[in-house]
Amino acid sequence: MPTTIVGIDIGSETIRAVEITEPGKGRAVLHRFHELDLPVGAVVRGEVEQPHTVATALKQLWARGGFKSKKVVIGVGNQRVLARDLSVPKASIKQIRATLPFHVQDLLPVPVSDALLDFYPVSETVGESGPMVTGLLVAAVKEAVLGNVKAVQTAGLEPQNVDLIPFALVRSLIDRASGSGTVAVVDLGASATTVVVAARGVPQFIRIIPSGSDDLTRALAQRLEVAGDEAERVKKRLGLATSVVDMDEHKAVQVIYEVTNEMLASLRNTVNYFTNVHPEAPVQSIVVTGGGAALPGFLNALADVTRLPVALGDPLANLTVGKGLDQGQLAAARSSISVAVGLALGSAA
């Protein structure tokens, strides 16, 4: 029987959901999607601070979006979630997960008892003591995850899985079957920017940068002495403009370049770090997604500083779009639903 599930992306400002049916064979089908703004303070830096407020928003989202399934997958990927390289003796994945607490205490900023642990195998090697499995340790502070789970359950929904947002991004934006080489996926969110490098569709490296598009909006509001909504409009209108018509625009563009150049430098350094550590599999291209990707001129600027091909990600490329969906709304939301699509795809099969 086909499985229908909803991926929920709980952002700092907006909550998004997509409903997908995985047919088992062939392409998954996107049936519904909807997004809703969240009250200020309900979610801070990717963590649900007000579960009942978010639960109310989820109920509204379900009603307005017409979602049928109550089975959901939620994502985590804030500063209290980390992913690090780890090599362990070869064993079944069940055995590896059971022994993680003995391997990772020195790697964690919190006691093992306060963390949720998982392991994502990447490759096998032979070490001095025998066969080894190398992969990514994923550790999340329990408190950072349980707030999201509580909000979903309070809304009457049934969480089937909690997935790591970087994994969801790779799932929705990289076609593993195409053999696309080593690709860096950059998700420009409101409060954080996620970078995940995947080789042949398998995640190899994750970094979460604690800044996002809201930092630029706040800088514009402060320096131009305007309200936040006006700063947002200025940002979207001017972007990384190369010419301006007056002094006000010149000042705004100067701020945009100052803040954006810091982000571009962080992204360039992240890509270079991976390439230096993995010279056998250097990053060959970059795929960008998230609301911040809409900043005019950003993709070209990123291509300039990294000297790599940069493209806008398309989470719909490997989906069949169901009948009745508003194509205009879907096109407008294309860069913002990558996480929700990847979450649903990860648990639909």
Asked whether residue 281 is assigned to any structural domain, the reply reads yes
Q: What is the CATH number of the domain that holds 104?
A: 3.30.1490.300
- Quick one: CA dihedral 38, 141, 346, 198, positive or negative? positive
181 and 136 fall within a common domain = no
What radius of gyration do the chain's Cα atoms show?
20
186 with 106, same domain?
no
CATH number at residue 186: 3.30.420.40
Q: Assess whether pLDDT exceeds 50 at residue 349.
A: no
221 shares its domain with 298: yes
Indicate if 264 and 207 belong to the same structural domain.
yes
CB contact at 8 A, 337 and 295:
no
Q: What's the pLDDT tens digit per position in 172-220? A: 998 765 556 899 999 999 888 999 999 888 888 999 898 899 999 999 9
Q: Which two tokens stand for residue 261?
A: 């150049």
Asked if the structure places residue 13 within a domain, the reply is: no
The answer as to whether 188 is a domain residue is: yes
The pTM of the whole model exceeds 0.85: yes
131 with 219, same domain: the answer is no
pLDDT at 2: 63
Cα–Cα dist 202/317, whole Å: 18
In percent, the amount of the chain with pLDDT more than 70 equals 96
C-alpha 69/C-alpha 261 separation (Å) is: 43
Does some domain include residue 246? yes
Q: How far apart are the first and last CA of the chain?
A: 10
Domain ranges, residue 198: 177-313
Has residue 136 been placed in a domain?
yes
Query: What does the pLDDT look like over 7-19, one tens digit per residue?
Result: 999 988 899 999 9
Domain membership flag for residue 326: no
pLDDT in tens, 134-184: 888 888 888 888 889 999 999 999 999 988 899 999 999 987 655 568 999
Whole-number pLDDT of residue 299: 96
Same domain, 182 and 309: yes
Total domain count for the chain? Answer: 2
| Whole-number Å distance between alpha carbons of 70 and 66 | 11
Give yes or no for residue 348 having a pLDDT over 60. no
